[in-house]
Amino acid sequence: MKIRVKFRKYGPVRFIGHLDVMRFFQKALRRAEIDVKYTSGFSPHQIMTFAAPLGVGLESNGEYMDIECNSVTASRDMMERLNRASVPGIEVVSVRLLPDSAGNAMASVAAAEYTVRFREGREPDFDWTQALNEFLNQEKIMVTKETKKGIQEVDIKSGIYEMRLDPPDAVHLLLDASSAGNIKPVKVLEAFCGAFGRELMENALFITREDVYTNAGTLEEPRLISLNDVGADIGTDADIVPMDTVLTDTVPKIIMEDDSHHEQNDSRKTSAQ
């Protein structure tokens, strides 16, 4: 049985790297007596994958870990047991049973949603809250990225699905997080400041990842839904939701906007019901 665990990461724990988070959960699963499945062979290990490892220093309200289990209890029971085995700064908020057809968390990632704030005293020295639309209306948004072919100038405009002011002083971002794109919020804000002749100050941003999305449509007609909307709670009357049902019946978490930039990207997301 495949289980998806959604968790928050916040406070001082945000400075703990991905490998340490993975090792933490390996121990937490044992302490919580979750009947996790192990690989076979000389050196068996727990079967688990993580979606889009979080950068050091970032907080998150939407991190995901997939595990395979031999047996399960109710979602609430597993969540409570994991939280009792957890530490301050890591909180499990959802445990769901995945359909057999669901891809693992890492392979499923298509986009990520962020809230970005400037630290006090490190804001740009221009009226940046009124400059977002002008920035997005550029023909291209070029950044320097390190790729397998070396350092290259890349146009990331098509991968900025949403960028808007979240009043009074935060920036909301929905970005391409696929293996082919993988746009980091800091790159977008560096390009934003650079477009107006400014340089992003060092350690200027406080970034929170709000959620991670998968593409339940096609490359030509993408439909983004939260990774948490795949599957069903255990111990309820709900059946396991197969992927072909997810496309039409589940209610995804959607962010709707009405300005011209967002209208161009409406096809990427379904409408909230």
Structurally, how many domains does the chain consist of?
A: 2
In a domain, 249, yes or no: no
Of the listed ranges 24-28, 121-125, 146-150, 267-271, the least confidently predicted one is 267-271
- Tell whether the model's pLDDT for residue 271 goes beyond 50: no
pLDDT tens per residue, range 40-75: 989 999 999 999 889 999 999 999 999 999 999 999
Domain holding 178, by residue range, is 108-213+257-268
Q: DSSP assignment of the chain, as one string?
A: -EEEEEEEE-GGGGGS-HHHHHHHHHHHHHHTT--B-B--SSS--B-EEESSPPPTT-EEEEEEEEEEBSS---HHHHHHHHHHT--TTEEEEEEEEPPTTPPPHHHHEEEEEEEEEEPTT-S-SS-GGGSHHHHHTSS--EEEEEETTEEEEEE-GGGEEEEEEETTTEEEEEEE-SSS----HHHHHHHHHHTTT--PPTT-EEEEEEEEEEE-S-SSS--EEEGGGSSEETTSSPPP--HHHHTTTS--------SHHHHTTGGGBPPP-
**Sorting pLDDT into bands at 50, 70 and 90, what band is 236?**
low
Q: Are residues 261 and 163 in the same domain?
A: yes
Average pLDDT over residues 193-200: 95
Of 58, 74, 97, which residue constitutes the final position of a domain? 97
Of 66, 97, 128, which residue constitutes the final position of a domain? 97
Q: Are residues 163 and 89 in the same domain?
A: no
For residue 140, give the amino acid letter: K
The CATH number of the domain where 50 resides is what?
Answer: 3.30.70.580
This prediction has a pTM of: 0.83
Q: Are residues 112 and 88 in the same domain?
A: no
pLDDT tens per residue, range 238-256: 444 333 433 333 333 333 3
Of 67, 97, 127, which residue constitutes the final position of a domain? 97
Which one has a higher pLDDT value, 23 or 219? 23
pLDDT tens per residue, range 103-135: 888 888 999 999 999 999 999 999 999 999 999
